[in-house]
């Protein structure tokens, strides 16, 4: 068990090495959240090469919108990357992160995408599979940040676990598509929490924070079903088994497109 915000988290098997690397790598380079996580989960130091493999494009204009309030600019590892024609065109596609994972993998693991019509129940069912070792290691998630809680206090988190009622009535002002790591979960009487690792140290405790599962499901649902998702990694021989479990939950093992 790991303790975060005073709450005991059930970490997914095989996450400790990636979390140590994450702590040492902060902050992420601007607009490179996808390759940042591809580098961490594959143990590759050459983030710039993974960004090229992913087809990442960067916007060179004013980009404070791309970071949480208070985070300074960190435009590194941009060498050789194409420049985006607009802020909306900057970043990395989900299947681009998949390409980076395939190019960077040295452990023989396959990237398995998960999308569909996200609900709290389906997300919690998937979290239970992951804490039981269905796809060991840190999972890469592609939510929209707006529904996520910027500052979740211990009392609010415990109340949510007990009642399932959301004590945070508003969405946050930082509103972008983003890639983060998912490394564990907390299951309460009525609610569940998702343990995230972010590329920005100002979020949570050095980038580690807890999110209500209902908020995370909304963040993954984005503006339409199948427009956000997760990337799991598993041995090739285990892929059919994992895809069957995802289908049983009501999710789809396919790549998604961001709106």
Query: pLDDT at position 41, please?
Result: 96
Is 259's pLDDT higher than 80? no
Query: Is the pLDDT confidence value at 225 over 80?
Result: no
Percentage of the chain exceeding pLDDT 90: 88
Mean pLDDT of the chain: 95
Model confidence over 123-146: pLDDT tens digits?
Answer: 999 999 999 999 999 999 999 999
| Per-domain boundaries in the chain | 2-249
Residue 240 has a pLDDT of 97
Task: Read off the pTM.
Answer: 0.96
Assigned CATH topology for domain 2-249:
Cathepsin B; Chain A (3.90.70)
Selected residue with higher pLDDT from 119 and 170: 119
For the cut 90, the answer to whether the pLDDT of residue 95 exceeds it is: yes
Predicted pLDDT of residue 105: 79
Alpha-carbon span 225 to 37, nearest angstrom: 24
């Amino acid at each position: 068990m790991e303790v975060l915000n005073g709450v005991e988290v059930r970490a997914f098997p095989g996450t400790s090495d990636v979390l140590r690397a994450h702590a040492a790598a902060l902050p992420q380079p601007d607009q490179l959240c996808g390759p940042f996580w591809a580098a961490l989960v594959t143990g590759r130091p050459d983030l710039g090469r993974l960004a090229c493999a992913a087809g990442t494009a960067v916007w060179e204009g004013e980009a404070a919108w791309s970071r949480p309030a208070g985070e300074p600019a960190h435009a590194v590892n941009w060498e050789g990357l194409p420049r985006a024609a607009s802020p909306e065109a900057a970043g990395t596609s989900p299947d681009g992160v998949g390409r980076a994972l395939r190019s960077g993998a040295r452990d023989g693991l396959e990237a398995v995408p998960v999308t569909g019509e996200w609900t709290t129940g389906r997300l919690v069912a998937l979290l239970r599979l992951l804490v039981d070792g269905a796809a060991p290691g840190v999972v890469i998630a592609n939510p929209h940040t707006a529904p996520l809680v910027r500052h979740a206090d211990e009392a609010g988190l415990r109340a949510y676990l007990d009642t399932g009622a959301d004590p945070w009535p508003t969405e946050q002002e930082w509103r972008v598509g983003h890639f983060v790591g998912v490394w564990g979960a907390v299951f309460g009487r009525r609610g569940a929490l998702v343990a995230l690792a972010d590329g920005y140290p100002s979020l949570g405790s050095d980038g580690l924070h807890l999110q209500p599962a209902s908020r995370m499901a909304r963040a993954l649902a984005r503006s339409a079903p199948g427009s956000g998702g997760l990337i799991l990694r598993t041995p090739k021989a285990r892929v059919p088994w994992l895809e069957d479990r995802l289908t049983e939950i009501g999710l789809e093992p396919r790549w998604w497109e961001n709106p």
